[in-house]
Structure 1
Amino acid sequence: MSERETWATRAGFILAAVGSAVGLGNIWQFPFKTAQFGGASFLLVYLIAALGIGIPAMLAEFVIGRKTNLNTIDAFEKLGYRNWRIVGAIGLATGFWILSYYSVVGGWVLRYIGGSITGAYFSDPAAYFGQVSAGPEALALHAVFMALVVGIVALGIEDGIEKATKLMVPSVVVMLVGLAAFAFTLPGASEGYAYFLSPDFGALAANFTEIVPFAVGQAFFSLSLGMGAMITYASYIDGDESLFADSVTIVVLNSFVGILAGLVVLPLLFAQGIDPNTSGAGAVFVSVATAFAELPAGQVLGFVFFVVVLIAALSSAISLLEVVVSWAVDNTSYSRPVIATGLGGVIFALGIPSAWDTAWLTWFDNLAYQLLLPLSVLGILVFAGWVFGRPALGELLKGSDFGDGVGLTWLWTARTVVIVAVVGTLLLGLQTLFVGGAIVPPL
């Protein structure tokens, strides 16, 4: 077993964790899920879930990771609960599962960067997406994206992930702010703001059981919860930092970037009279490409937008690969570059069906949102709240100015309200999967 690495700085950890959260979940998933499920109604439920469920769940992952300084599986054994390794294994498998199709979407982003430079998608954005989203080209770009991810992770924590995310995260924020400022100047953008920021409570009540599992799943997805990423990243902390402050910072910054992405995408669509309710994994690609095709300097804007998406995608993808690499580094004598390359190859192979047919990608995504993520988060909350309990509270309060009262509030919130909310979300998700037949793969 090689010597375990640590973050060089606290800022490095925070930016890496924010980078894990700020990814395709914010810029690809968030706008199209928001549009698909009622605009501001979805946003409202998402924000409640991110703050009310996301922060307690993130703290539970941080406590496990920092206390043990081990990967998401072996951490449970070090704490003295070997049988609970299954919870860590579910998280690792969830991240593995998600990265397999996430990388395919990352390949789409690479293709759209090139398409923006040449203007290739301007004449018929829908047909262009159909051509590049599945088949040999999608498979090749899936391989290129995975190679980029493997290259960063192979360099290690300080020289690879930390240095990369210190550049990536500020770049994403700066470019999104610029794009949002441009979108604000477009005629008709106000309709997009109204759709995005003014909740229709009647529609929310009527579609509550449909909106909730996707909004809560979006919070888990975009915050990298239930994937082993936050346990793994917290395991590299060397010192007693305030986990409260770190979790709030990460959740707030992540939500801010998600809202920024909505303030770019939805005004763009409404300004061009494009229906925001188009569903499906390619909705943002087709809709945004259609908008750029009609705008002055559309090639430049498209290039900047898709570069932002690529940076965000890489910052999340490296955290998902690191989860499985961390486990292998802790348990084998192989070098990090060899491990990263081998596991990256296996993940690439798992993503082949998603690259060949978008129906498979949708199936992978539905299972992640509605089953794997809430199940994994539930296991972590039950362990941290009811099994680990008081020691978890002690670890949480290290480096914090808060007293036992705040810590107990977290503990009992995680034990009760948050667990009930996650169980409800899981049940709604299972109902959607089985009633709608989405549980069956597209054979």
Structure 2
Amino acid sequence: MSEQPSKREGWSTRVAFILAAVGSAVGLGNIWRFPFITGENGGAGFLLVYLLFIGIVGFPAILVEFVIGRKTDRNPVGAMREIGHGIWKYVGWVFVVTTFVIMSYYSVIAGWTIRYTVLGLQDGYKADIAAAGEQFGQLSSGLEAMALHGLFLLAIIAIVGLGIRRGIELAVKVMVPAIIAIVLGLAAWASTLSGASEGYSFYLSPDLGRIMADWTSILPAAAGQAFFTLSLGFGIMITYASYIDEDRNLATDGAIIICFDTVIAVLVGLIVFPILFSAGVDPGEPGPGAIFVSLSAAFGDLSLGGVAGAVFFGTVIIAALSSAISLTEVVVSYAVDEHDIPRLRATVLVCALLFVLGLAPAYDIVLLSLYDGLMDGILLILGALLISVYVSWGWSDEALEELENGVGDLGPLGPTWVWLVRIPVIAVLLVSLWLGILDYVDFLTGDFADWLGEL
């Protein structure tokens, strides 16, 4: 293994770091995943639990990744090898493996958004939900899905291969403001639709009874979404924080990133649910393809729905790209830092391997669910749990010292942060991990077993 390169790129400004972190958070997690997870878990009740998790769990957890990254100036593998002891030195591998596999099917889903954008500009969407489902089945797998998966990865190579300042930083400075502007415009348009009031009621009026009755499904879904949307458990925030200076106020930056991410997530709900209710489409349809089926059917039933759909799915492409560059950067930074591979060569190699691994989920959506259930429901939570345990119980003094760089003495707020990680963060992650394992076992013995039986 080679030594870490003596000179390492960094963000040119604080704004660049914040935009990059927001761009990572505001991706498919917000615009693809958030609406269907919210819909299948009852709407407003899920939203309430999700917002609680963002504050109680998400904010303390993002600071955990920030202090590790800035302290070590390394990727997750190098960072944990530097600060860890014994078996803890190898925890960084959980992040790299998880992020690598997630990126392999993330790019497949991003390929769907490309196809649905083009569809809106050409033949339009099927207004009937059954026809929309059949259309999704045809578009979501097969050679075309594989080709679009590859096309999206080529865009990633073009950005990540150029480096931090000339590639990632320039890209997010364009993409993040564009996402915010388009989402605001779509939310304003959705408010004029006939089903807006019903959509708002479903989305913003929580049923506490539903929360109590379905907490075993709502809790892990909300926790997983909070971590997914904030890019926690991927090692992204460790990697991005490794490129920042010592004089940054990490707590302020974390709060800004979380606020932007949460506001955009909420705005996306204000777009999606009025559209669905206006077209009489069930918002609770489960599954990773639900938002494509439900929304395309809704757009197909609306005046100028093809144009609106193309704008919406075009926005999802931009958001997917802003997140995908951060996912890829975790693995590329490992190759660059630990093996001294030139950045462009490392990016091409990583994306070539991602293309091969992503052929399975592009072949059949059941295999995408197989990947997603293990990565998002188990390993993502496991990685976040392991570093939360280590930082709060075994490395808390060093973590507090790093957090205070650029801030000054935190007083009682410092120990409060540590105890928030030690108790609520770890407790939520433990419960979510257990429930995620149970859900994955159900999938393996149910849908996946059925799929194997049909082969």
Tell me if TM exceeds 0.5: yes
Aligned match of 1:98 in 102, 117, 136? 102
1:28 aligns with 2:32: yes
Aligned match of 2:79 in 72, 75, 88? 75
Cα deviation, 1:382-424, whole Å, max 9, x if unaligned, reads: 1111111101001011112562311111011111221112111
Corresponding residue for 2:417? 410
- Number of aligned residues: 443
Structure 1 window deviating more from structure 2 (43-52 vs 174-183): it is: 43-52
Q: 1:187 Cα shift?
A: 0.9
User: Taking structure 2 as the reference length, what is the TM-score of the superposition?
Assistant: 0.94
Aligned match of 2:180 in 173, 178, 190? 173
Q: 1:122 Cα shift?
A: 3.7
Distance 1:90 1:145 in 2: 25
1:263 aligns with 2:270: yes
User: Taking structure 1 as the reference length, what is the TM-score of the superposition?
Assistant: 0.97
> Given that residues 76 and 82 in structure 1 are in contact (C-alpha distance below 8 angstroms), is that contact kept between their aligned partners in structure 2?
no
- AA aligned to 1:325 is V
Corresponding residue for 2:434? 427
Corresponding residue for 2:149? 142
Corresponding residue for 2:61? 57
Aligned match of 1:48 in 52, 59, 72? 52
Q: 1:62 Cα shift?
A: 0.3
Corresponding residue for 1:108? 112
> Given that residues 110 and 310 in structure 1 are in contact (C-alpha distance below 8 angstroms), is that contact kept between their aligned partners in structure 2?
yes
Counting only pairs closer than 5 Å after superposition, residues 43-442 of structure 1 correspond to structure 2 as 43-79=47-83, 81=85, 83-122=87-126, 124-400=131-407, 403-437=410-444
> Equivalent residue of 1:351, what SS?
helix
> Given that residues 196 and 262 in structure 1 are in contact (C-alpha distance below 8 angstroms), is that contact kept between their aligned partners in structure 2?
yes
Distance 1:258 1:437 in 2: 30
- AA aligned to 1:354 is P
Distance 1:427 1:300 in 2: 43
- AA aligned to 1:267 is P
> Equivalent residue of 2:91, what SS?
helix
Q: 1:236 Cα shift?
A: 0.3
Distance 1:302 1:364, change over 3 A: same
Distance 2:332 2:293 in 1: 34
Distance 1:436 1:133, change over 3 A: closer
What are the ranges of 5 or more consecutive residues in structure 2 without an aligned counterpart? none
> Equivalent residue of 1:238, what SS?
coil
Corresponding residue for 1:13? 17
Cα deviation, 1:117-161, whole Å, max 9, x if unaligned, reads: 103434643222111100000000000011111211001001111
> Equivalent residue of 2:104, what SS?
helix
Distance 1:419 1:403, change over 3 A: same
- AA aligned to 1:305 is F
Distance 2:206 2:408 in 1: 37
- AA aligned to 1:310 is I
> Given that residues 363 and 438 in structure 1 are in contact (C-alpha distance below 8 angstroms), is that contact kept between their aligned partners in structure 2?
no
> Equivalent residue of 1:404, what SS?
coil
> Equivalent residue of 1:386, what SS?
helix
Distance 2:340 2:55 in 1: 40
Q: CA RMSD in A?
A: 1.5
Q: 1:436 Cα shift?
A: 5.0
Cα deviation, 1:25-73, whole Å, max 9, x if unaligned, reads: 0000000010011101111111111111111111000000000101111
Structure 1 window deviating more from structure 2 (429-438 vs 147-156): it is: 429-438
Distance 1:188 1:120, change over 3 A: closer
Q: 1:435 Cα shift?
A: 4.3
Cα deviation, 1:202-242, whole Å, max 9, x if unaligned, reads: 11111101111111001111111000100000000023201
> Given that residues 232 and 326 in structure 1 are in contact (C-alpha distance below 8 angstroms), is that contact kept between their aligned partners in structure 2?
yes
Cα deviation, 1:246-279, whole Å, max 9, x if unaligned, reads: 1111111111111111110011000111111111
Distance 1:40 1:132, change over 3 A: same
- AA aligned to 1:311 is I
Distance 1:168 1:300 in 2: 20
Instruction: Report % sequence identity.
Output: 48
- AA aligned to 1:52 is I
> Equivalent residue of 1:275, what SS?
coil
> Equivalent residue of 2:93, what SS?
helix
What are the ranges of 5 or more consecutive residues in structure 1 without an aligned counterpart? none
- AA aligned to 2:123 is G
